[in-house]
């Protein structure tokens, strides 16, 4: 048996000890919920009759209480390409449930907003807090007490973290997350990026840009770049919450359908009264959360999860922070380069060996906790596989390849792309934030240049178009934190800043906002807190102040005299956002906690 890396063991024990009081309180809570919470045997006849009134052919089984009933929470809509395939899943799941003597009902639906549609638009200011909304909607769905197991249908950015948080609060119920897979590869992401930069420079028009975007995002399924959505799917496998190796199988295929069938059959086996009871809250422990962090680092995943993972962990009584992520990053090698960190997309990643290869490589080198409770049974090593259809069309699993099928995409630990996972904590007199170095040329890990300060991203674009940023510059975009405007992603800035960098200038972004999981080659210190609207240090910075971002030393500082810095007045926060529904989220902005804690009003107010 491989010995666990001693530094990983140290970090793990620190997280376990730090979490111990709240974790024990959580385990006691879900035990009480199992014994004394709402479930079908406790429902009155009137309650129960309402619950099965429209269940059709499943009515006798649900009424008798002898068959397991599976609750489906779905994030289906047919505007969002990743979630459009879920439209037919409930009727399929009901059929698959009957095959093993169980029943299934759609417990509820939750919103699934598309950050691709809202990117750079006003609606993006609702994006982060949609995670809390999804968690609350899922809790409403499961509150009826009709279910002994659950299947959660969700893929993208805030959807999976929201579903996860709700599943943790119903942690006595066995739950499996069910993916729908990425769209087939379209226009190469590097070519899409090239056209975006040409458009930013005014060298191609809107029609050429739209053609490139449409050729990239061209059908049903998750976008194929390795952003937050596909990072979600990777993490669910690293935690053992999927049917093994199911993340990156394309929609509309027989194999995809068989994986959904397997999830339905399996939740019936691990359900409340099943032969192998596996409650969600026991599957998700400190080691599982750490595995998610490790997977994120080993694959160069989305920086958005520096916010989501602490929130997800809190819901299960576990406390992690950016120091943990940064220290894990120092020992976890980067094993894959998926766009925007490389040229290929998630389909190429999966074809090269995918998550199964990553799991086996990390485990073989003592860099992964394999001894966790997974929904599949056994250990996490059972996820070092590839799903296939045998000659009879039945789902089977083959071992993941021992050698990468494409070492430009996927490598073993011995020849990793870089020795660390490329996500680093930076702190200094500008606050505390995160830098993702895995997509950035090491020559740009240290940037020192005069600041140009903005209060919104549209002003940055205007300054770029006016030629005002054609010099070495640290672009500071403040009042973008959760309490200011909901912490929108600032991915819209990437093409313009990339153009400046390509012109030979030293360029960096510093912000209390977020960048997309698709953020790429420009160094960026993001999620800085205390945020500007709380009087944080970004509210004091002025045009021309020299800022030094040093991702090697882990520092982010403005180079001014300390007495002058401390005596400066703070800038005035822009007016609270109105329109596009943003005013309805005022209470979430007002009560949100900081980015490192997970930027959640819901968890903060619940005392979790």
The Cα 6–Cα 365 span in angstroms is 11
DSSP per residue, 412-435 = -GGG-SBSS-SEEEEEETTEEEEE
What's the whole-number mean pLDDT along residues 82-105?
97
Q: Are 40 and 271 in contact (CB under 8 A)?
A: no
Q: What residues contact residue 546 under an 8 Å CB cut-off, 6+ apart?
A: 448, 449, 450, 451, 558, 559, 560
Q: What are phi and psi of 172, to 5 degrees?
A: -80, -10
- pLDDT score recorded for residue 519: 61
Q: Tell whether the model's pLDDT for residue 253 goes beyond 80.
A: yes
Q: Quick one: pLDDT at residue 163? A: 98
Q: State the angle between helix axes of 189-200 and 206-216 in degrees (0 to 180), rounded to the nearest 10.
A: 160
User: Rounded to an integer, what distance in angstroms lies between the CA atom of residue 121 and that of residue 231?
Assistant: 23
> Does position 343 have pLDDT exceeding 70, yes or no?
yes
Confidence of residue 518 (pLDDT cuts 50, 70, 90): low
Summarize pLDDT for 268-302 with one digit per residue, the tens: 999 888 789 999 999 999 999 999 999 999 999 99
Tell me, what's the pLDDT at 555? 97
Cα(230)–Cα(223) distance, integer angstroms: 8
Give the helix/strand (H/E) hosting 602.
helix 601-606
Over residues 490-501, the mean pLDDT reads 90
State how far the alpha carbon of 35 is from the alpha carbons of 23, 64, 148, in Å.
19, 20, 13
CA 599 vs CA 299, 490, 570: distances in Å: 24, 17, 22
Band of the pLDDT at 492, cuts 50, 70, 90? Answer: confident
Distance from C-alpha of 222 to C-alpha of 226, rounded to nearest angstrom: 10
If one counts every other C-beta atom within 10 angstroms of the C-beta of residue 490, the result is 26
| Band of residue 460 on the pLDDT scale cut at 50, 70, 90 | very high
The per-residue pLDDT for 114 is 87
Q: What is the pLDDT of residue 547?
A: 97
- The overall average pLDDT reported for the chain is 94
Using CA atoms, how far residue 546 sits from 153, 445, 458, 484, 542, in Å, is 47, 16, 23, 25, 9
Q: What is the pLDDT of residues 424-444, one digit of tens each?
A: 999 999 999 999 988 789 999
Torsion of CA 269, 274, 280, 286, to 10 degrees: -90
Residue 193 has pLDDT above 80, yes or no: no
Residue 44's Cβ-count burial label (10 Å; 0-12, 13-18, 19+) is: exposed
At residue 31, the pLDDT reads 95
Least confident of 34-38, 57-61, 503-507: 34-38
In this predicted structure, the answer to whether residue 220 has a pLDDT above a threshold of 60 is: yes
For 201-251, what is the HEC assignment? CCCCCHHHHHHHHHHHCCCCCECCCCCHHHHHHHHHHHCCCCCCCCCCCCC
Overall size of the chain counted in residues:
608
Percent share of the chain, pLDDT over 70: 99
| Alpha carbons 137 and 384: distance in angstroms, whole number | 34
Number of H-type helices and E-type strands within the chain:
23, 14
- What is the number of other CB atoms lying within 10 angstroms of the CB of residue 75? 27
pLDDT in tens, 366-420: 999 999 999 999 999 999 999 999 999 899 999 999 999 999 999 999 999 999 9
pLDDT tens digits along 172-192: 999 999 999 999 988 777 787
Distance CA 303, CA 433 (A): 11
pTM attached to this predicted model = 0.95
pLDDT (average), residues 90-116: 95
Instruction: Show Cβ contacts of residue 456 under 8 Å, excluding neighbours closer than 6 positions.
Output: 477, 479, 480, 574
Confidence grade of residue 218 (pLDDT, cut at 50, 70, 90): confident
- Cβ–Cβ < 8 Å for 314, 418: no
Does residue 45 sit in helix, strand or coil? helix
| pLDDT above 70 (res 604) | yes
Cα angle 321-428-589, degrees, rounded to a multiple of 5 = 55
What are the distances in angstroms from CA 85 to CA 112, 214, 251, 289, 477?
Answer: 13, 19, 7, 28, 37
Whole-number pLDDT of residue 517: 55
Q: What is the pLDDT of residues 113-153, one digit of tens each?
A: 988 888 888 888 999 999 999 999 999 999 999 999 999 99
pLDDT for 272? 84
Task: Look at 215 and 226; give whichever has higher pLDDT.
Answer: 226
Q: Which two tokens stand for residue 386?
A: 């590839």
Whole-angstrom Cα distance, residue 158 to residue 128?
Answer: 7
């Amino acid at each position: 048996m491989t010995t666990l890396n001693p530094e990983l063991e140290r970090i793990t024990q620190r997280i376990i000890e730090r979490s111990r009081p709240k974790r024990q309180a959580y385990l006691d809570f879900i035990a009480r919920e199992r014994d004394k919470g709402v479930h079908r045997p406790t429902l009155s006849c009137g309650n129960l009759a309402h619950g099965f009134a429209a269940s059709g052919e499943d009515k006798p089984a649900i009424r008798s209480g002898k068959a397991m009933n599976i609750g489906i929470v779905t994030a289906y809509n047919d505007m969002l390409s990743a979630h459009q395939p879920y439209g037919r899943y409930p009727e399929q799941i009901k059929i698959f449930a009957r095959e093993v003597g169980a029943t299934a009902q759609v417990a509820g639906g939750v919103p699934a907003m598309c950050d691709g549609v809202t990117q750079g638009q006003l609606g993006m200011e609702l994006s982060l807090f949609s995670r809390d909304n999804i968690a609350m909607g899922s809790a409403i769905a499961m509150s009826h007490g009709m279910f002994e197991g659950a299947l959660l249908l969700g893929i993208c950015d805030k959807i999976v973290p929201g579903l996860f948080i709700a599943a943790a609060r119903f942690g006595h119920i066995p739950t499996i997350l069910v993916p729908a897979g990425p769209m087939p590869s379209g226009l190469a992401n590097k070519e899409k990026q090239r056209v975006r930069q040409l458009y930013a420079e005014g060298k191609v028009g809107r029609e050429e840009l739209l053609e490139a975007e449409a050729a990239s995002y061209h059908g049903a399924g998750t976008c194929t770049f390795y952003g937050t959505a596909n990072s979600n799917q990777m993490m669910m496998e690293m935690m053992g919450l999927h049917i093994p190796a199911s993340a990156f199988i394309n929609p509309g295929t027989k194999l995809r359908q068989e994986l959904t069938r397997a999830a339905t059959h399996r939740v019936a086996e691990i359900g409340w009264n099943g032969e192998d009871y596996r409650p969600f809250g026991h599957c998700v422990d400190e080691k599982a959360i750490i595995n998610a962090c490790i997977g994120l680092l080993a694959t160069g995943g989305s920086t958005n999860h520096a916010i989501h993972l602490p929130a997800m962990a809190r819901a299960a009584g576990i406390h992690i922070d950016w120091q943990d992520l940064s220290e894990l990053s120092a020992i976890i090698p980067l094993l894959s380069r998926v766009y925007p960190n490389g040229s290929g997309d998630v389909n190429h990643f999966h074809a090269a060996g995918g998550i199964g290869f990553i799991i086996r490589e990390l485990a073989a080198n003592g860099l992964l906790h394999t001894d966790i409770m997974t929904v599949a049974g056994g250990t996490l090593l059972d996820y070092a596989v590839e799903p296939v259809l045998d000659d009879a069309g039945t789902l089977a699993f083959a071992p993941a390849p021992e050698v990468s099928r494409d070492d430009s995409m996927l490598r073993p630990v011995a020849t990793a792309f870089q020795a660390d996972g490329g996500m680093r904590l930076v702190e200094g007199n500008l606050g505390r934030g995160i830098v993702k170095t895995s997509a950035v040329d090491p020559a740009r890990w240290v940037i020192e240049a005069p600041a140009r300060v903005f209060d919104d991203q549209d002003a940055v674009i205007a300054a770029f178009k006016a030629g005002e940023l054609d010099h070495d510059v640290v672009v500071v975009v403040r009042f973008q934190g959760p309490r200011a405007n909901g912490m929108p992603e600032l991915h819209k800035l990437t093409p313009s800043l990339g153009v400046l960098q390509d012109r030979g200038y030293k360029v960096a972004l510093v912000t209390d906002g977020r960048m997309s999981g698709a953020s790429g080659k420009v160094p960026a210190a993001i999620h800085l807190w205390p945020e500007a609207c709380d009087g944080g240090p970004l509210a004091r910075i002025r045009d021309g102040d020299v800022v030094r971002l040093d991702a090697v030393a882990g520092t982010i500082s403005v180079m001014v005299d300390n007495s002058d810095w401390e005596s400066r007045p703070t800038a005035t926060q822009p007016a609270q956002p109105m329109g596009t529904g943003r005013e309805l989220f005022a209470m979430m902005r007002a009560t949100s906690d900081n980015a490192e804690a997970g930027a959640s009003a819901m968890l903060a107010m619940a005392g979790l």
